[in-house]
Copies of this chain bind each other. A is one copy, B any other.
Amino acid sequence: MTLIEKARKGIITDEMKAVAQYEEIDPASIRDGIAGGTIVIPKNKLRTFKYIRGIGKGLRTKINANIGSSPYHMDVDEELEKLNAAVRYGADSVMDLSLGSELIKIRRQILKASDVMIGTVPIYQTAFELSAKRKDITEMSMNDFLATVERQAKEGVDFMTIHAGVTMEALQAMERQKRVLDVVSRGGAFLIAWMRKNKRQSPLYEFYDDILDVLASYDVTISLGDGMRPGAISDATDRAQITELTCLGELAQRAWDKGVQVMIEGPGHVPLNMIQENVEIQKALTNEAPFYVLGPLVTDIASGYDHIAGAIGGTLAAYYGADFLCYVTPSEHLRLPTVDDVIEGIIASKIAAHAADLAKGMDYAVEMDRRMSKARKDLNWDLQIKTSIDPVKAKRYRDASEIGEHEECTMCGDYCAIKKIRESEG
């Protein structure tokens, strides 16, 4: 039985208990959320790892870090360093998006080393293996793809992004739409190339049930990829995106019917005024499946600072109900992220998740902010630093100032409002 099947039978598993403990929620509500499809606990039945996390309705907002090599830069040790940095700074999951000849080796190392759930996008491996045989992705057979899914499932991957909603219908909607920036999803681009060349429906849609059978047998969670996600503000919430999303609702239902847990992936580049509607339409069309958004980025022009553009969009998305934020690093649109980029991306994403949970009134977040503000009132610097989202940087900043033995900070010095008020209370 898969986790969702156990939940439907009323069973509370160890995974559900672990999540319930972390969230400080009754285990029965976790079970009910899983049975109803509003919560997932991505965990391959062959894998064990330290931080079991749930994603979905009523739970803390979770964050994901994408790592992995590029064909132009492959370094196992560096990817492991990124993994460790991401987890140390608070990632709830890591996706290994490695491309290039080292991808299998890197994935295995990451699966071995990771304390958090691991996700992948199997079509990348299929594409690589075809190209190693001097074949193009457009020559992919369903068996090629299924073999990759099975291989990765056997290795222990906890969730997989599968772009089964990139259908002929979505492609036609995209073509008729005349987008500014067509398709920016790698998986989406592969499938479009395949459909255009073969002039037939995507095999991932056509043989979707076969994919689900493999996933079910390892209890891998499916993350329904959004190959049509807007890559430009001008393209946000257009007919291509919504055509695909409508299909993802159908595919989610079919996954549940097969006992497979489901998340829905979402955009992308979305202006601030469209974020609420993007979350609400996803929830409506997919029976409230957990929503996993990339950013969203609230502007196209923040190259070098897309972690900030993503934190702005992510906070609002999570506040309106997105459950899982994929970080964006300062490298986005420019290059493969470095370890430092990963850290900056995770922290920005963590600020977004925390600020959204705070706005939703979640106890853990309210308590954390209150602790910080009390520490500020007491000019208790050790506690302020400890309570900071990144104690290392907070300490470095304070230490780098010329504060000496003073109890305030160099911003106001002796004119510190907190000190003044304290004195005036006499």
Interface residues of A (CB under 8 A from B): 70-73, 99-100, 124, 127, 137-138, 180-186, 188-190, 192-193, 196-197, 231-235, 269, 271-274, 298-305, 307-309, 311-312, 315-316, 319, 330-336, 347-348, 351-352, 354-356, 358-360, 365-366, 368-370, 372-374, 376-377, 384-385, 387-390, 393-394, 396-398, 400-404, 406, 409-418, 420-421, 423-426
Contact = CB atoms under 8 A, between A and B. Distances in A.
| Residue among A184, A189, A370 with most chain B CB within 10 A | A189
Nearest to A368: B301
A300 B372 contact: yes
Contact of A423 (B193, B301, B302, B316): B193
A71 B412 CA distance: 7
Interface pairs A-B: 3 shortest CB-CB: A232-B373, A335-B401, A272-B359
A218 B144 CA distance: 78
Contacts of A303: 372, 384-385, 388-390, 393-394, 397
A404 to B, nearest CB: 8
A87 to B, nearest CB: 19
B420 A334 contact: no
Nearest to A419: B189
| Residue among A366, A376, A406, A411 with most chain B CB within 10 A | A411
Contacts of A410: 70, 72-73, 335-336
B415 A186 contact: yes
Given A71-B414, A72-B406, A411-B331, A389 B234 contact: no
B348 A308 contact: yes
Given A272-B358, A303-B384, A409 B186 contact: no
B377 A182 contact: yes
Contact of A308 (B137, B271, B311, B333): B311
A393 to B, nearest CB: 4
11 contacts: A71-B413, A180-B370, A180-B374, A233-B369, A299-B358, A303-B393, A304-B388, A304-B393, A312-B315, A335-B397, A335-B401
Contact of A301 (B299, B334, B335, B389): B389
Given A188-B417, A272-B356, A330-B397, A302 B351 contact: yes
Contacts of A360: 273
A406 B354 CA distance: 39
Nearest to A190: B420
Contacts of A71: 413-415
B271 A359 contact: yes
Given A272-B315, A415-B124, A233 B373 contact: yes
Nearest to A348: B308
Contacts of A359: 271-274, 298
A100 B316 CA distance: 41
A355 B311 contact: no
A384 B235 CA distance: 18
| Residue among A196, A311, A414 with most chain B CB within 10 A | A311
A331 B410 CA distance: 10
A99 B420 CA distance: 15
Contact of A369 (B190, B299, B376, B384): B299
Nearest to A401: B335
A189 B408 CA distance: 15
Given A311-B308, A312-B311, A312-B351, A369 B301 contact: yes
Given A189-B420, A414-B71, A388 B311 contact: no
B300 A335 contact: no
Contact of A189 (B124, B389, B421): B421
A396 B424 CA distance: 50
Contacts of A182: 377, 418, 421
A298 B394 contact: no
